[in-house]
Amino acid sequence: MTGGQTITQKILSRICGRRVAPGEVVMPQAELITVHDWYTVNAFRTLEEFGVTKLHDASRVLLVTDHEPLAVSPQAFARQQAVRGIAKRFGVTHRDSGRGGLGHVFPVEEGLVTPGMFVFAYDPHVTNFGAVGALGIAVLTEIPEVLACGSVWLEVPETLRVEITGSLPFGVFARDAAQKLIGSHDAALFEDAVVEYGGPGLASLGMDARHTLCNTPVELGAVSSIVEPDAVCMAYATARAQRPIHAALPDADASYRARITLDLSSLAPQVALPPTPDNVVDVTQAAGKPIGHAFIGSCASGMLDDLRVAAAVLRGRQVAEGVRMIVTPATQQVAADAAAEGLIEVFLRAGAMVTAPGCGVCAGGRIGGVTAGEHSIGTGTRNEPGRLGAHEAVLHIAGPATVAASAVVGSIADPRPFLREAAWGMAA
């Protein structure tokens, strides 16, 4: 085989010990396997049914409690106790409630995931690991096989290259860019591909913004997303790495499914209308729609920069009467940093509720959800019917600034006037 390789192809080539190409079926050994909450019990029950008493490599397994960190039912109490027992029995690392937070974010934050790593996971939003140039791929119900054997077959995916140019205008943030990207192209372009981000505009985006960019393409059927590990990424990763770094860069002559450009400088705040995250319009086209529920959090927009932006809008203001606003920090570290900066106080004084770090409302509406006829705007990952509770609710997705502004007004609102008043100039 000749020609250059993409980042994904280089990572899988290293893992497989030979050069691989798109379309090949390989059996890559995962360097980390993550399993979340209640599915842990199901996965290990399957292993027991097949007589598996020992994992392929327990040191590579991470069990995470994040979709339901604060158990609120007897069934949840029992599930969490069962997961603790599984972790002890099989000798695996378990991040219980209060010991990490959202499993798509804290492994990067703590250096458990590093540039060039390959990860198998149960949850589709493992794509966040691409923020540091790691390749995370979800295998869902095949996780028991991965736990027992260390791998499962995988067809080497094609790569879609996204060239980032320009810089974000005032009052526009990474979530707006991410929503615009998936709303401006046909899903067929993303389907079964890895989205690879690079280009001159990348340097203007911090690590929190990169989590957001890597999170959204999976909603159009992408296998994963990955950011070219530049100087910003490497400085972040080397300062906290707990594993070897195998950073991979694409070759100049790498072959892609397609190359598209994301011009940050041309963007405005975006809102995804029901019923899908790619049904995107500029905020001015959605402004005025009444809302009674607002949420800031999730693996798409629960990072510290997201909370800073929301607090800038809310500082000195009140959530509108009749609006329930919920803020969920992505991780324990994000929550601690937000508290140290006074952001938590801003949310509480404004009339918002702050919940335990984790997935928050985005976890299927297990807490703080909506009922039939309610209208919500939030920074969650999806807005299909039933995502936050009742199927008859109306769900919108936007960035944290837009959500915060909408919570203050009581209807979908452009955040830029609020931010101008606050003299807020953050760009990502």
Q: Of 241, 263, 285, which marks where a domain is finished?
A: 263
Distance of CA 222 to the CA centre of its chain: 13
Q: Is the pLDDT of residue 428 over 50?
A: no
Tell me: the pLDDT tens digits for 252-282? 999 999 999 999 999 999 999 999 999 999 9
CATH number for the domain including 297? 3.30.499.10
Specify if 2 maps to a domain: no
**DSSP structure class, residue 400:** H
Q: Of 235, 263, 291, which marks where a domain is finished?
A: 263
- Give me the domain span that covers residue 313: 272-421
Q: Is the pLDDT of residue 1 over 90?
A: no
Q: Of 220, 236, 263, which marks where a domain is finished?
A: 263
Claim to verify: residue 255 and residue 282 sit in the same structural domain: no
Note if the bond before 417 is cis, omega within 30 degrees: no
- Edge to edge, what strands does the sheet with 135-138 contain? 93-95, 61-64, 32-36, 118-121, 135-138
pLDDT of residue 365: 79
Instruction: Please give, one letter per residue, the 3-state secondary structure of 71-95.
Output: CCCHHHHHHHHHHHHHHHHHCCEEE
Claim to verify: residue 368 and residue 403 sit in the same structural domain: yes
Claim to verify: residue 247 and residue 324 sit in the same structural domain: no
Between the two ends of the chain, the Cα-to-Cα distance in Å is 40
Tell me: the pLDDT tens digits for 327-369? 999 999 999 999 999 999 999 999 999 999 999 999 987 899 9
Tell me: the pLDDT tens digits for 215-248? 999 999 999 999 999 999 999 999 999 999 999 9
Claim to verify: residue 31 and residue 111 sit in the same structural domain: yes
pLDDT of residue 364: 85
**Average pLDDT over the chain, rounded to whole?**
96
pLDDT of residue 355: 97
312 backbone φψ class: left, alpha, beta (φ>0; ψ -120 to 50): alpha
Specify if 191 maps to a domain: yes
Specify if 157 maps to a domain: yes
CA distance 176 to 216: 11
**DSSP structure class, residue 184:** S
pLDDT of residue 423: 60
Q: What is the DSSP string of 208-241?
A: HHHHHHHHSGGGGT-SEEEE---HHHHHHHHTT-
Percent of the chain at pLDDT above 70? 98
Q: What is the pTM of this model?
A: 0.96
Claim to verify: residue 148 and residue 48 sit in the same structural domain: yes
Specify if 36 maps to a domain: yes
Claim to verify: residue 223 and residue 150 sit in the same structural domain: yes
Tokens of 395: 């769900």
pLDDT of residue 2: 72
Specify if 1 maps to a domain: no
Specify if 238 maps to a domain: yes
In degrees rounded to 5, what are phi and psi of residue 17?
Answer: 75, 15
Specify if 188 maps to a domain: yes
Tell me: the pLDDT tens digits for 274-331? 999 999 999 999 999 999 999 999 999 999 999 999 999 999 999 999 999 999 999 9
